[in-house]
A and B are shown apart, each in its own frame.
Chain A
Amino acid sequence: MSNEPIKRVSIIVSKGSLDGVYPGLIMGNGALMEGIEVMMFFTFFGLDAITKGPMDNIKVATVGNPAMRMPGGIPMPSMLGMIPGMSAFASSMMMKEMDKLDIPPVGEFLEMIHDGGGEVYACKAAMDMFHLEKKDLWEDVDDILTVGTFYEKSAGAQIIFT
């Protein structure tokens, strides 16, 4: 094993929940800030993060999420998580905490990554599956890629799946 510095990363975002989308964005932006080239590839429900509308409404799952806690650290019973509005409430609480750490909303975060030279791509298979077109996507998405092109463009990159 050599300790060569990482030059390029290719980050796949495959989930559309708040905790599915943000790790990829934070890793991507963080890489750019270290001088590492970045490409972001959004697939499956991860497409929500670059789809107009849903991208401004990313939520954390309060059901089926055993790590979900209420203020004070008590685990949240799944029954409570089912109450309508609970997911929106928990998400807005988390966004507030994240804002304190200067973690921006999804749109602003994507803009930082793109302006920093990061490339943003959508997965063709997932686009077809969800009947989405280019016009449905955030305007600065660079392209829609097949898996083959994704691998071509990832040449020399470390691939990170989230």
Chain B
Amino acid sequence: MSEKQFAGVNVTVDDEGFMIDYTQWNEDIARGLAKEIGIEELNDKHFMVLNFMRKEFKEKGTGPSLRKLKNESGVNTKELYGLFPKGPAKKAALIAGITKPVGCI
């Protein structure tokens, strides 16, 4: 675990960079987290995915699978891989401030 500062807020993240407390999250922190993993800018589509992930996490305690993400977030598989290259579910979870996805799909 380590402390990182995004947009003037101290955020605790685990060894892989996932936030420990998702309630600390805001859009500026998201931009900071995204830069850490090489995504320079976040657009409306990114936030559509991030907000869907946070809603799922709040309701179920875990992030959605890629299948759920592409079926219910309003963003399809191709776009998801475009927005979050090389690992949509994992990268979106990291930027959304929730824990690493536990499913295999």
1/0 contact string of B52-70 vs chain A (CB within 8 Å) = 0000000000000111101
- Kindly provide the distance from the CB of B102 to the nearest chain A CB, expressed in whole angstroms: 11
- Is B51 an interface residue when CB atoms closer than 8 A count as contact? no
A29 touches B66 (CB 8 A): yes
What does the 1/0 interface line of B40-83 toward A look like (CB < 8 Å)?
A: 00000000000000000000000001111010000011100100
Q: Which among A29, A33, A34, A108 has the highest number of chain B CB atoms within 10 Å?
A: A33
Do A116 and B105 touch (CB < 8 A)? no
Chain A residues whose C-beta falls within 8 Å of the C-beta of B67 in the assembled complex: 102-104, 108, 112
Q: Is the CB of A33 within 8 A of B77?
A: no
Interface size on B, residues (CB 8 A): 18
Name B89's contact: one of A26, A33, A117 (CB within 8 Å): A33
In this complex, what residue of A is CB-closest to B91?
A35
Q: Are B87 and A112 in contact (CB under 8 A)?
A: no
| Residue from the list B68, B76, B87, B105 in contact with A26, Cβ < 8 A | B105
- Most chain A CB within 10 A, of B68, B76, B86, is at B86
B103 within 8 A of A: yes
Closest Cβ neighbor of A103 among chain B residues: B105
Contact of B90 among A26, A33, A104, A111 (CB under 8 A): A33
Determine if A115 and B105 form an interchain contact, defined as CB atoms under 8 angstroms apart: no
Given A102-B67, A104-B67, A112-B70: A30 touches B104 (CB 8 Å cut-off): yes
Q: B77 and A116: CB pair below 8 A?
A: yes
**Is the pair A101, B81 in contact by a Cβ cutoff of 8 Å?**
no
A117 to B88 alpha-carbon distance, docked (Å) = 12
Q: Which residues of A contact B (CB under 8 A)?
A: 26, 29-30, 32-35, 101-104, 108, 111-112, 115-117
The 6 closest A-B pairs by CB, nearest first: A35-B86, A115-B77, A102-B65, A102-B67, A115-B78, A35-B87
Query: Could you list 6 examples of A-B contacts with CB < 8 Å?
Result: A33-B66, A33-B89, A34-B87, A101-B105, A115-B76, A115-B81
